[in-house]
């Protein structure tokens, strides 16, 4: 049941491509073909997009291809933004539609959501809620990747402190992270979004957090023998691992395993690994989860509300 619930839907394409490419050499040159597409009838966002495009990226040196959906919109002040969205026919699209509706209907208008930069863009677009950060700093990426990610993110953030703070928080152990969370006082209701697709952002998080996380990745090619594939993933996960998380990627399954035996960092505790505790740390309350546990939203309890 654990395995099926996590691999039921296709991953956000840009994340899947990142995971697969993590095992290949990186090159620099991408060609981008942009095609306007029709707005999906089920799109329910806080901001109405001015346009929606399909970007088909091709890396000539390696033949690698990547397809992403990009929406453009203007905020209340008239500033234009772009946002990376899941494929409109995918389960991830439905997940984000549900999260956007939850945020609009069940969180305070002055709520502040802590989330990785691309999730911050989607939260802003779909719910209108304020987010911790919406653009990454250039140093989040290897030098050869910066040109690509500057295009995909809509531009780099010159003030990189906030994303560095979040990456650092996620790499701390549970006890230390709890202390840091208690010090996050913004005067606003605080929430934190955990997205299992952010495993594709592992390099960014480690680079900004300044710490290597105890994770290993292995790609299992697609097999007609589903039960045999489950057994293979589980056998690999148990060889020196203390928890695993499978994800669908083009052509197979990406399996992650935690290699550390004790005291995992906060981020790995909050992601839906097989070893993750049923209850979050005492200063976090789980308030929203998609059926496949791809998106999990936590509310940060104020110090006076802690047991």
The residue extents of the domains of the chain are: 2-305
pLDDT in tens, 252-299: 999 999 997 778 899 999 999 999 988 888 889 999 999 999 999 999
Measured in residues, the chain has a length of 307
pLDDT in tens, 108-129: 999 999 999 999 999 999 999 9
Query: Which pLDDT belongs to residue 22?
Result: 46
Q: CA 54, CA 258: separation in Å to the nearest integer?
A: 35
Exposure string (b/e) for 103-114, b if CB count within 10 Å is 16 or more? Answer: bbeebeeebbbb
Nearest to 275 by CA among 247, 252, 245: 245
- DSSP 3-state of 273: coil
Query: Which pLDDT belongs to residue 249?
Result: 85
Q: pLDDT under 50 in the chain at which residues?
A: 5, 7-13, 16-17, 19-25, 304-307
Query: Which pLDDT belongs to residue 29?
Result: 79
Provide the token pair at 70. Answer: 């990009």
pLDDT in tens, 291-306: 999 999 999 987 544 3
Q: What's the whole-model pTM score?
A: 0.90
Nearest to 264 by CA among 204, 303, 22, 256: 256
If one counts every other C-beta atom within 10 angstroms of the C-beta of residue 194, the result is: 26
Q: CA 140, CA 163: separation in Å to the nearest integer?
A: 9
């Amino acid at each position: 049941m654990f395995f099926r619930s996590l691999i039921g839907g296709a991953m956000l394409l840009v994340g899947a491509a990142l995971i697969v490419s993590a095992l290949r050499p990186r090159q620099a040159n991408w060609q981008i073909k942009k095609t306007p597409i029709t707005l999906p009838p089920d799109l329910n966002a806080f901001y109405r997009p001015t346009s929606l495009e399909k970007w088909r990226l091709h890396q000539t040196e390696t033949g690698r291809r990547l397809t992403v959906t990009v929406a453009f919109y203007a905020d209340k002040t008239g500033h234009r933004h772009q946002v990376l969205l899941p494929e409109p026919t995918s389960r991830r699209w439905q997940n984000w539609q549900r999260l956007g509706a939850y945020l609009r209907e069940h969180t305070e208008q002055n709520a502040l959501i802590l989330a990785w930069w691309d999730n911050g863009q989607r939260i802003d677009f779909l719910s209108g809620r304020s987010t911790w950060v919406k653009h990454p700093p250039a140093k989040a990426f290897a030098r050869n990747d910066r040109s690509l990610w500057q295009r995909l993110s809509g531009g780099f953030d010159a003030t990189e402190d906030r994303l560095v703070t979040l990456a650092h928080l996620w790499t701390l152990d549970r006890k230390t992270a709890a202390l840091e969370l208690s010090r996050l006082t913004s005067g606003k209701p605080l929430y934190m979004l955990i997205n299992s697709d952010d495993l594709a952002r592992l390099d960014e998080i480690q680079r900004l957090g300044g710490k290597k996380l105890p994770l290993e990745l292995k790609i299992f090619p697609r097999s007609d023998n589903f039960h045999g594939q489950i057994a293979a993933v589980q056998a690999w996960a148990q060889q020196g691992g203390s928890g695993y998380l499978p994800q669908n990627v083009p052509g197979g399954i990406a399996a992650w395993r935690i290699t550390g035996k004790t005291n995992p960092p906060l981020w790995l505790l909050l992601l839906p690994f097989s070893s993750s505790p049923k209850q979050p740390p005492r200063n976090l309350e789980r308030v929203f989860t998609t059926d496949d546990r791809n998106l999990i939203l936590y509310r940060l309890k104020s110090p006076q509300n802690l047991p």
